[in-house]
Amino acid sequence: MAKKQEIPGFTSKRKLLFSEKTKPGKMRETGESFMDAGRLDDALEFFERCDAQDLTRHVARRAMEEGNVPLYMRAMKILKEDAGPDDWRRLAANAEKAGAFATAMAAYRSAGLEEEAERVGGLMPGVAAEEESAAEEAAGSE
């Protein structure tokens, strides 16, 4: 079994990313190492600079499953693809399950589901309290 490549530290990572001498194969290999370590944002930095659409799609699938809206959006941007309403709905539902209410709300809005976005917004700590306080103030002024 081949030994897994160690992921580079900050300085080494920057040198690899921005050196004109870094070959696409090395970019892909290093990105895979970051992906294997669960550092998907770092992996995308490398995949963006080489021919790694397959690996970028893998990151997009993982982001979808995890409800990680920013990561999904970044992967789709690298792939130069737009998410459709069904993608946004699924992403929003997964983000909601993960407790990422703010990003779930944004994804529901991107899907055109304003009622769902409002519902999820009410689940966010502080938002429901603010709405309740505003309603009490409005009732008190009558």
Determine the distance from the C-alpha atom of residue 59 to the mean position of all C-alpha atoms in its chain, rounded to a whole number.
9
> pTM of the full predicted structure?
0.81
Lowest pLDDT segment from 2-16, 75-89, 111-125: 2-16
| 7's tokens | 């992921």
Contacts of 53 (CB under 8 A, 6+ apart): 79
Cα–Cα dist 123/54, whole Å: 36
Tens of pLDDT, residue by residue over 45-83, are: 999 999 899 999 999 999 999 999 999 999 999 999 999
Cα–Cα dist 48/44, whole Å: 6
Tens of pLDDT, residue by residue over 74-109, are: 999 999 999 999 999 999 999 999 999 999 999 999
b/e per residue 114-137 (b: at least 16 CB within 10 A): eebbeebbeeeeebeeeeeeeeee
